Structure 1
């Protein structure tokens, strides 16, 4: 009987070890999505996610978010610099907000080369934004879609595909206004200021009359 029990325990131990060897604790590495669900819930509950979406839509409506490039180039021309200047002016009004620049290319060339080219274009835009007074700590140019997201699907050179796109990406860490969840105050701040200025002008005009 004891011999049978010993054999049973031994077999059980071997099975346990075998199971552990197939997938030991901690063997599954994080693929970069761990914590995203919690983060998303937090953003939704605090109102930050809606604020990012709303502000990004407003950003796209008020300034040119896309910059185009010549073939196989990451050099900014006059039109590009003017667009970036307008982006910087918008960004300056929202010091609590971070922005991300995505680089794209057309379908000419290898994927590896185009990915590197797209990243160079994104970095060129970030550098120009910095020259226009926007802190690099608020800017990201680490993502490049390369040739994988063309606006126009063609194997030929296409200027509309050779672009960068700037988007709102989040908030500056430890920013007091954001940490206090005062998002309405942030997004309506310039509206309130413009209303006050208009009222002052109208009041002054009525007094003069």
Structure 2
């Protein structure tokens, strides 16, 4: 009987051949952990403390107050003057919120191969990140550059379409370790008064009639 038992164990193979059997050899829980074991807990924590909701609210505010998209010439990742103007507006807004991280998504139109357009979308996202960094935004707050290539067109057409050749900047989360974040002051971040740097004080000095007409 003892020999038969040893033979059956040998037929099963050594540790590593059977995931279920490995639970007797590996540390507890390892069979269930596929690399995202803590994601559910993290998600629940963010919902309970309001972080996820505040990220959503701040993202809406960002999209309402500044243009989030820039466009590119065909087969190019170069920023034109209009794109640079838009990115300066983004940078001005981002500087008001040092607690917040951002992600830049790159896109292309449907002309060309998938693999080429994936690289081009990434190059466009990287160009935006580099320009925002040149405006004083820490790269550590630009969480990632992501390329969707041609997979998410605004306008479905096989031809050239400038509106599809774009990047989109979005709020992605809060900076871990920032004092306001550690204290859970998400609401204070969201509802902080934002003063546009471009706003000019009025130069009107009086309301008297100068006596003249249209000039």
Q: Report if TM-score (shorter chain) is over 0.5.
A: yes
Distance, in Å, in 1 between the alignment partners of 2:32 and 2:120 is 33
Specify every segment of 5 or more residues in structure 1 that has no aligned partner in the other structure, as ranges. Answer: 195-209
Aligned to 2:134: 131
TM-score with structure 2 length normalisation?
0.79
Instruction: Give 3-state SS (helix, strand or coil) of 2:6's partner.
Output: helix
Shift of 1:87: 0.7
Q: CA RMSD in A?
A: 2.4
- Aligned pairs for 1:58-69 (under 5 A) are 58-69=61-72
Q: Distance in 2 between matches of 1:143 and 1:28?
A: 29
Alignment partner of 1:99 is 2:130:
no
Show the 5 A alignment for 1:105-184: 105-184=108-187
Tell me: CA distance 1:114–1:48, structure 2 relative to 1, closer, same or farther (3 Å): same
2:2 to 6, 12, 16: 6
**1:94-149 deviation line (CA, Å, top 9, x unaligned):** 10000010101111111111111111100111111112221111113431111111
C-alpha separation in 1, matches of 2:103 and 2:3? 62
Aligned mates of 2:48, 2:33 — CA distance in 1? 29
Q: Supply the distance in 2 between the matched residues of 1:186 and 1:56 (Cα, whole angstroms).
A: 12
- Cα distance in 2, alignment partners of residues 15 and 53 from structure 1: 55
Partners in 1 of 2:13 and 2:82 — Cα distance? Answer: 66
Q: Is the contact made by 1:126 and 1:140 (CA closer than 8 Å) also made in structure 2?
A: no
Structure-to-structure mapping, 1:74-85, within 5 angstroms: 74-85=77-88
What residue ranges of structure 2 are gaps of 5+ in the alignment?
197-215
- What SS class does the counterpart of residue 21 from structure 1 fall into? coil
In structure 2, the residue corresponding to 1:160 is in which secondary structure? helix
- Alignment: residue pair count: 188
Moved more, 67-76 or 9-18: 9-18
Could you list the structure 1 runs, at least 4 aligned residues long, displaced by more than 6 angstroms after superposition: none
